Amino acid sequence: MKPRLQTSLGQHLVLTPQLRQALHLLQLSALELEAEIVSAVESNPLLDWRENAPIQTPAADAAGTGNDATANDAGESTRWDVEESWYGGSGAAPAGDDDSDPTERLVHTESLREHLSWQLHLSHLSRRDRGIGEALIDAIDDDGYLRAPFDEIALTLQPELQCSGDEILAVLRQIQRMDPAGVGARDLRECLLLQLDVLPADAPGRALAGRIVSELIEDLPRIGVDGLAEALSCDACEASTALQLLRSLDPHPGAQIGGVASDTYVAPDCAIERHQGVWKVTLVGGPHSRLTIHRGYERMIQHASEADAGYLRGRLQEARWLLKNVQARGETLLKVARCLARQQSGFLEFGPQALRPLTLREVAAEIGMHESTVSRAIARKYVHTPRGTLPLRQFFASGVGTDGGGQASSTAIQQMIRSLVDAENPHKPLSDARLAEALKAAGVAVARRTVTKYREALNIPSSHDRVRLG
């Protein structure tokens, strides 16, 4: 077969360096973003800090109830000049808040189980499948692997659920699509294949890496690159590319979650406060709001030598990309926060018992973004509210059907359980079955097993232990 040149037209997704940087910045917390920007300023002479920059508050959005909450996003100015500060810098607590410094809070270390359970309850699965999913998540170890066999998992679900291995496998497939990539794998081979599956189809070396994992993973340590090339009938360069891709994967995906120390401080990215009867959302300023272009070096480009001018132009382009992507991060975060404030105005007004069911899909559909973008936008982000500094994830909740035809959020049900326990007779506490009956009488039908799970999540002892305490 003779070599020949051929042209063809086609479409494929390419992650440009700018897009990669935008996605990276979007998923950073406020403190991580500041560290990233400080590092960029130190390494790029075209970036500088603006001294004594005036504080400007971006356009806020009304998110209350009634006619006052009909502010239109499209009618507000969402364009900010990179020459000016576009983050609200005060971060002041709403009137009546006793805490005068909301910019630092202790953050709770999220476990892998909590991270997966949160995603499970936001998925569109039946109640039966969610029960199976909870059992699977309980069986996943800290490295992210499922070590328990299916028959053992089926036993933990009895007698409430009788399920087959095929049902468990189907739910496991759903869990394996969750973040972090590779979680729920039963061995190293499956873990690496799951991570390869989420890469773009045209990623260099992806196809060969899949063959290496499927066919040669056990022989990999001894055959090397040349042996791989011979076994895969490809050249050494292609084998080396595939091997480098495999080395970039994480054999312990579960270790990515829960690695933050319990005494780590967080800074809120935005603030929600009540103003003239409506909820207003603003971004909180930080060092990134003083980021600017160093005009001295920018003017120097016109008079520098060809080599120096080329270097400065490259760094100027990098600086402009960073400014643009930081601004885009703020706009995306503001859109999401506005939507959450509109959707959960009852929660802001009355507390957890008024939290309505809300999923990533609903928010993504309302603001016209993909679910993965919304997920990145709320990851490790905090908002200052009259109810304290809260993670944005707390505004999401799964729903349970009620007798009235509506839905109650899992957070609201937990609040109901807390209220029932607080009002019980300490000498004759309510069992989980009695709690389930009380909830059913209130129009919320939940299983006893669900009540047990919510009670444990609230750190409420069992009725046997509570009667001893009483």
Q: Which domains does the chain have, with CATH numbers?
A: 17-75+85-104+265-392 (no CATH), 112-256 (no CATH), 399-469 (1.10.10.60)
Instruction: Return the SS3 of 2.
Output: coil
Mean pLDDT check: name the lowest of 93-107, 138-152, 242-256. 93-107
Q: Which residues contact 287 (CB under 8 A, 6 or more apart)?
A: 34, 37, 38, 49
Q: Report strand pairing: 382-385 vs 270-275.
A: parallel
Let me know: does 297 contact 319? Beta carbons within 8 Å: no
pLDDT winner (highest mean) among 103-112, 258-267, 310-319, 407-416: 310-319
Decide: pTM greater than 0.85: no
Provide the pLDDT for residue 329. 92
Helix 432-441 with 410-422: angle, nearest 10 deg: 110
pLDDT digits (tens, 9 = 90+) for 403-415: 554 556 667 778 7
Summarised one tens digit per residue, pLDDT across range 186-216 is 988 899 999 998 888 778 888 888 888 888 8
Confidence of residue 400 (pLDDT cuts 50, 70, 90): low
| pLDDT, average across residues 273-282 | 88
User: Following DSSP, what letter does each residue of 292-357 receive, concatenated?
Assistant: EE-HHHHHHGGGS-HHHHHHHHHHHHHHHHHHHHHHHHHHHHHHHHHHHHHHTHHHHHH-GGGPPP
Cβ-contact 265, 106 below 8 angstroms: yes
Tokens of 367: 């603001």
pLDDT in tens, 31-64: 888 888 888 888 988 888 876 554 443 333 444 4
Has residue 333 got a pLDDT over 90? yes
In one-letter notation, the amino acid at residue 180 is P
Q: How many CB atoms lie within 10 A of CB 223?
A: 14
